[in-house]
Every structure is written in C-alpha cells, then in structure tokens.
Amino acid sequence: MKVLMFGWEFPPNITGGLGTACYGLTRGLAHNNIETIFVVPKAYGDEDQSFVQLKDAEKTKIFQTRQEFSDFWEKITYLEVNSSLLPYLDPVEYKKFINEQYKISQSEIKEQAFETNFKFSGKYGKDLITEVTRYALIAGTIAQENNFDIIHAHDWLTYPAGIAAKAFSGKPLVIHVHATEFDRSGENINQTIYDIERKGMEEADRIITVSNLTKQIVIDRYGINPDKIHTVHNAVEPVELAEFAFNKNFDEKIVTFLGRITFQKGPEYFIEAANKVLKKDRNVRFVMAGTGDMLHRSIDRVAKLRISDKFHFAGFLRPDMVNKLFSISDVYVMPSVSEPFGISPLEALRTNVPVIISKQSGVSEILNHAIKIDFWDIDEMANSIYGLLHYEGISNMFKKHGKTEVDNLKWENAARKVIDVYKTLINQ
C-alpha cells in the first residue's frame, strides 16, 4: 500500500505538535511496511527521509493547460476569499491582524495561478491563503505524476490539497483532524477557516480524529456523519534517557510549560498557579517554552507579579532541547483550554517527569497515571504542583506507572489503526 500524504510542516522545521505527529505517524507506517510520499510546501533539506519520501511542493512544476486550471478553479471557489489567515491567533489578536492587513483579490490569486511553479514560505503569515491555494493547485499535478492507493491530508491547511488530489486521481481521501477552529478560537471562529474545514470533512471518504473529544466536535459543530469518523490517538516513541542527560547546575525544582503561548494552551493559568506556588516555596523555577501571540502579555504579567527571578521564557525549542529540558524538569503542566490531543505530556512521561493535564484535553482519554484538573482551577493546579514537588512517594508513583503506560503508546501501534481505516476504503 502506498499513501500520498499532505502536511504543512515536517521535523525539524516545525512550530508545534502537528509536525511531530506527522513524523511519528509516517515512521509508524514505515514500520508496518506502508510506503509514504509526504508533501510539504517547502522542504529545507535537513529532514529525515530514511523512512519517507519527502516531496517539496515548491519544486513541483505546473503542467496543466489553462482550461484545466479554469475547471479546477470552478471546483475550489470556496478558497477565493478576501482575507489573510493565521491559525494560532486568539480572537482579539486575530481581529486586530485582519483589520491591519491587505486583502487578496480573486483576480490576483487567479493571475498567480498560471505560473509554471510557485514559491512557498512554509510558514504561517499574511500570505497564508495564497499559499494554501497554490498548494492545492500543485496537489493536482503531484497526484497525476505519482502512483499511490490513498490520499491522507493533515489539518485544514492541506484539506484543499487533498480534495484536489482526489479530483485528479479518483483515489479515496482521508483527512486527519488534529484541531478545529473551535479549539483555536473558542466561539469566536473565523468563518473562512470553518468553511474550509467543513468542506474537507464533507469531501473526505474517512475522517481520523486525534481524540473522542475532537470526534464529538466534528459531529456536533460540523454536522458530519459519525459512521465515517474514526478516533486514533496520537503516540510517542521511547527514548534513551542517558542520551539527553543534562546537568542543571542549581538546586531549585523545575516546573515546565511547553507549547504555543496562545489562548488554546492556557499559559495565563500556568502563570497564576506559579505565583501561588512561589508564595509557599521560593525554591522553584518555572519555565515556559514556546512562542505565540500571548508571549508579550505573559511576560508583562510575570513582571507585574514580581516573579521574574523565578520564571523563565525559553522560546521555541527544537526536539533535542525539549528532551534536555524534560530531563531536568520535576513537573510538567499542560493547562490547555481546549486540546484536541496533546503530545507533550507523553514526551514528558517518557523521560520520567510526572504530569498535570487539563481535563479538557484529548490525551486525558488515554492517560491514567496523570493528575487531571480543570484548566481554570488555578488553586487545584498550584496544589498539584506543590504536592508533586514535596511528596516524593506520590511523585515516584506517577513517574513509574506513567512511564510504563506511555511506553506502550507507540506510533507503530497507532499506525496500525490508521491502516485499518485505509483498508475500509481500499478493500471495498
């Protein structure tokens, strides 16, 4: 079996958990003898291609005739919108951004659509809608030039590409929902992104969601038939702890937050809980690793609380540095407001770090040896942090059983479930 897979990023060039999940899944598929062609808008040359064929959309030339382009544009008119899209801004910041940015006209996009090849930033910026559209056009060419059995598209940025590949090849389409617009923006959704998501879900032959929480959102908010939705939880690969051993050179305990510093991830609740813990124990350092639209707001809040000497903003960390950070951490906290899954708690547990996760996360469906709290309950969060730092028996129990639990959650096993979904289409 051969899969044509569309993603927006691939390690080590990632901005969040989506790229990590794509890497893990393709590696898991390879373990199960499934060949994958993985398409990204822009490849950087440092990606691991030992188990996947990486295809750079930027280097793909367009050979379709003008009439074929016209026919294709008729099929994807829903993409031709006067807005710029950013996937990770909170509602207030998003509205501000839209008001300040120029609008892309339908004629401007169509004029660009007849170049022989396209350039991509591979990032999330003001030209994102143009890049999503170009990516969809190139997907048709890639689908015609390659042999494969099934199409697999990850998240809304690649749904149009998946639809185009299906239109040109006639092969079945599976879309993978890692997050929805309701996770990113709450109730203040961007209608354009919602429409793209819903169109992808309607056109897909099967839908894979990363949790039952996400599956229910797809059913309730997008009106999709539950019969074509399958939940496959994310996974993580075991690591050799000695490989990431790191000496922190100070005595304080370390409590870590890792993720985009944005509305969805609940960074403000982590800061307030940190303040409560530090009122009881000053022998603790808090680390917030990541970037996002709430970074400056978070820095200001830490300064106003006068805890800057015990609170560190580490910025975006590459995978090797993430493991080093976990190797010196005593507690990991994921206070997400809405988390379709959340791979980072698994990454923490595999390095023997006890975790505190929000009940509003998909990963809470599969983890038994984790402390689960409501994201908004900063008193409970602070008490849980304090307890894990000061009661060794409790901490060791979560470390021991948590690592055993997560070591059984391998991508190889998750890939088998994905293959089972493929087979419902190929064996029909």
Q: Spell out the SS3 assignment of 262-294.
A: CHHHCHHHHHHHHHHHHHHCCCEEEEEECCCCC
Its pTM stands at 0.83
Q: Is 88 helix (H, G, I), strand (E, B) or coil?
A: coil
In this structure, are residues 62 and 138 in contact, taking their beta carbons and an 8 Å threshold?
Answer: yes
Q: What is the pLDDT of residues 241-286, one digit of tens each?
A: 666 677 778 899 999 999 989 988 999 999 999 999 999 999 999 9
Q: Which of 115-119, 228-232, 352-356, 361-365 has the lowest mean pLDDT?
A: 115-119
Highest mean pLDDT among 124-138, 242-256, 357-371: 357-371
Residues 80 and 221 in one domain: yes
What's the pLDDT score for residue 250? 85
Residues 132 and 262 in one domain: no
Residues 135 and 45 in one domain: yes
Domain harbouring 333, CATH code: 3.40.50.2000
Residues 35 and 115 in one domain: yes
Amino acid at 69: F
Residues 420 and 286 in one domain: no
150: Cβ–Cβ under 8 A, 6 or more apart, which residues? 1, 2, 3, 4, 171, 172, 173, 174, 422, 425, 426
Range of the domain at 80: 2-235+411-426
Residues 246 and 375 in one domain: yes
Residues 253 and 386 in one domain: yes
Residues 102 and 231 in one domain: yes
Q: What is the pLDDT of residues 326-340, one digit of tens each?
A: 999 999 999 999 899
What's the pLDDT score for residue 137? 86
H or E segment and range at residue 17? helix 17-31
Amino acid at 155: D
What's the pLDDT score for residue 184? 84
Percentages (nearest 5) of helix, strand, coil residues in the chain: 50, 15, 35
Residues 215 and 332 in one domain: no
Confidence of residue 126 (pLDDT cuts 50, 70, 90): low
Residues 361 and 221 in one domain: no
Residues 420 and 363 in one domain: no
Confidence of residue 412 (pLDDT cuts 50, 70, 90): very high
Residues 394 and 418 in one domain: no
In this structure, are residues 88 and 293 in contact, taking their beta carbons and an 8 Å threshold?
Answer: yes
Q: Total structural domains in the chain? A: 2
